[in-house]
Structure formats: C-alpha cells, structure tokens
Amino acid sequence: MPLTQYTETNAPLPVVIIGKRVEIGSAVAEGLLPDIETIHFIQSLEAACAELPHIFAGHAPPEVSLPNNVGTHKYERQSRAVIIGRAFLVEEVEEMRASCAGIAKEPVAWLLNDPSVGPPPLPVDGALPGPEYALKAAVLAREVLAQWLGGDASDGGKVKDQVLFY
C-alpha cells in the first residue's frame, strides 16, 4: 500500500535519515522510494542537534557537518519522519528531539531500532553489512510509517509526534 495515500498532495513523504555510514543510509533511502523521499542524511548526534531545527523550519542547514549525496536536499516540505540507525541510543534520540522541540508545524515520527532486538550479525572481516541489512531497515520503517500515518484509533485517528520502534 503506497504511503502517498496519506498525504494531501500524493507526493512522497519527506524524511530524514540519521546513521553512521553513508553507504547504508544511501541504500535505505533507495529502498524507501518511490513513496518516501529522503531529503537529508545526518551522521552524528551533534550534527542532528544542529541541523534538524533548520530542516523542520523548512530551510537547508547553514552548515552541514559531513556533506554527502544522500537525499534530495529539498527542504520546502517539512520532514514528517526521522529514521534513525542502530548506532544511536534512545537517550540520544531524546536529545535530538529536544534540540528541535516546537519547531515542526506537523507531527513527526521518530523511528529507531527496537533496543530489545539485538543487531543483525556483522561480517567477520569488518566489511559493511550486505544490501539485505538496508533493505530490511527500509521495509520495517515503511511498515511503521504506514501504521503511524493511519492515526491513533484511541485518539480519533490523529497522527502524533512520537518515538516509534522498528
């Protein structure tokens, strides 16, 4: 089911991805297409706290700590979700949220890996995880976003700003 059914314009849902590795972030962004558009990729807690307030205000960050080619860099539509990789802790996500509290005009879903589920096995030789790792993250994120966009039945179907695990 395409996520564009939940948006007013049938445009792709704009999201930010936060992760340590550009290669993995790029593969996740690709796996989210066509109905989820990655607009920006961030690689550290410090960068997230500095860049997210600008992104949620609808502007490009004045400085990007680690420039990369992941994302469209189209900031005119507010990011509706932040998809965060395994390298970040729940406490760090709360710090990110606090850095941009009250700026977003629309609710934001903050997706992070379920801390009760262990990370997938990494290659013994220290290589990056294979493409299945990024594809699985994209599929799980898509499922959680579809549920979130469907609204909270206990609150009349409203979409809320919240942290969700995938």
List, as one string, the DSSP characters of the chain. --GGGGSTT-PPEEEEEE-S-HHHHHHHHHHHTTTEEEEEEE-SHHHHHHHHHHHHTTS--S--SS--S-S----SSPP-EEEE-TTS-HHHHHHHHHHTTTT-SS--EEEE--TTSPPPPPPTTSPPP-HHHHHHHHHHHHHHHHHHHT-BGGGTTB---EEEE-
What band does 119 get if pLDDT is binned at 50, 70 and 90?
Answer: low
What is the predicted pLDDT for the residue at 153? 67
Q: What is the mean pLDDT of residues 24-35?
A: 96
Bigger pLDDT: 83 or 166?
83
Q: Mind listing the domains of the chain with CATH numbers?
A: 3-165 (3.40.50)
What is the predicted pLDDT for the residue at 133? 86
What is the predicted pLDDT for the residue at 2? 57
At residue 125, φ and ψ (nearest 5 deg) are -80, 5
d(CA 47, CA 148): 26
- pLDDT of residue 44 exceeding 70, the answer is yes
- pLDDT of residue 75 exceeding 70, the answer is yes
Bigger pLDDT: 106 or 131?
106
On whether the CB atoms of residues 16 and 42 are closer than 8 A, the answer is: yes
What is the predicted pLDDT for the residue at 4? 52
Q: What is the mean pLDDT of residues 70-77?
A: 96
